[in-house]
Amino acid sequence: MDDHMMKAVLYDRYGGPDVLYTGRVPRPEPARGEVLVKVRAFSVNGGELAVRAGRLRLLSGRTFPKRVGLDFTGEVAAPGAGVTRLAAGDRVWGVLGRTSGFGSAAEYVTVPAERVGRLPDGLDPVDAAALPVATAVITALRDKAGLRPGERLLVRGAAGGVGNAAVQLGRAYGAEVTALARAASLDFVRGLGAHRAVDHRTVRSAELGRFDVVLDAVGTDLRVFRRLLTPGGRMVALAFDAKRPAATFGYVAASTVHGHRRVRFFSGDPKRADFDDLARHVAEGKLRPAVDTVFPLEETAAAHRALEAGGVRGKYVVRVA
């Protein structure tokens, strides 16, 4: 076997999950300031499904093959020149940056050393792959929304990869947490710490009450849920409507400029300090990984299919090595 090649999940055209296949590509080499990571696991994120389906093709372009995978856990295989903080064998987790695109669905990935953190001792790397997305939730609740103890927090999509972390962290920050989820997931979100769990398909939004902060992990009907904010309330959207992405971004942009009850869209671009915060929350018992199902690399398409079907509790994780 050629040591300069590796397995990676690819697709040669936009479409459904079936366009994904496991192929072989050149193994990357770390540039100065980067590390080469041997990937142990990654999770499936909603945004990459929209890209794979071609809904953002004006941004993603028509150059193929394309890659999938945004986050990862693994071990440093080789540090690049100038990297002194990390050494071969260090257990790490990270998220590829906004400018890097996708590509963690592979045996190896290169990433700037500043974009990875050390994996907490005792945390299984497959379970841990459910957590890098929580860096965005920490920043959204703590920094973008300024969530304070005693405030009322509404989490939409509370059972999913983003939402389950928001329920846990909202509780840890001292908020009164209302979780919206499917009926079958209400016990799951209560177990995460939600004070109130509501079936999103049977409740009318007006019946939910008022909230100081709304964290949206769904991306649709932002206007409806913005109306539930108290004066001075804050809404942070961590997802977009995959069928109408331009409309979502346009509405959020307008809301940021006009009105006191602003909607902020935040996609996350974590750095080392964010992973240090994440590790601290895990160590303090405020946040635990929630893994729905683990798939092997060759079944990444099945993981995409499962996420598109709805009903996930936590994260779908793909084991690489």
Give the pLDDT confidence score for residue 269 in this predicted structure.
Answer: 81
The CA distance from 186 to 183, in Å, is 5
Task: Kindly report the backbone phi and psi dihedral angles of residue 259, in degrees, each rounded to the nearest multiple of 5, phi listed first.
Answer: 90, 155
Residue 319 phi/psi, 5° resolution?
-85, 130
pLDDT of the residue at 264: 67
* Residue segments in the chain with a per-residue pLDDT below the cut of 50: 246-259
- Specify the residue for token string 């045996």: 107
Query: Judging by beta carbons within 10 Å of its beta carbon (0-12, 13-18, 19+), is residue 231 exposed, middle or buried?
Result: exposed
Cβ atoms of 237 and 265 closer than 8 Å: yes
Q: Domains of the chain by range and CATH?
A: 5-130+271-283+290-319 (3.90.180.10), 134-265 (3.40.50.720)
Strand, helix or coil for residue 290: coil
pLDDT of residue 255: 42
pLDDT at position 321: 77
Dihedral sign from CA coordinates of 293, 299, 303, 305: negative
- In the block, tokens 């995978």 appear at 69
**pLDDT, position 265:** 63
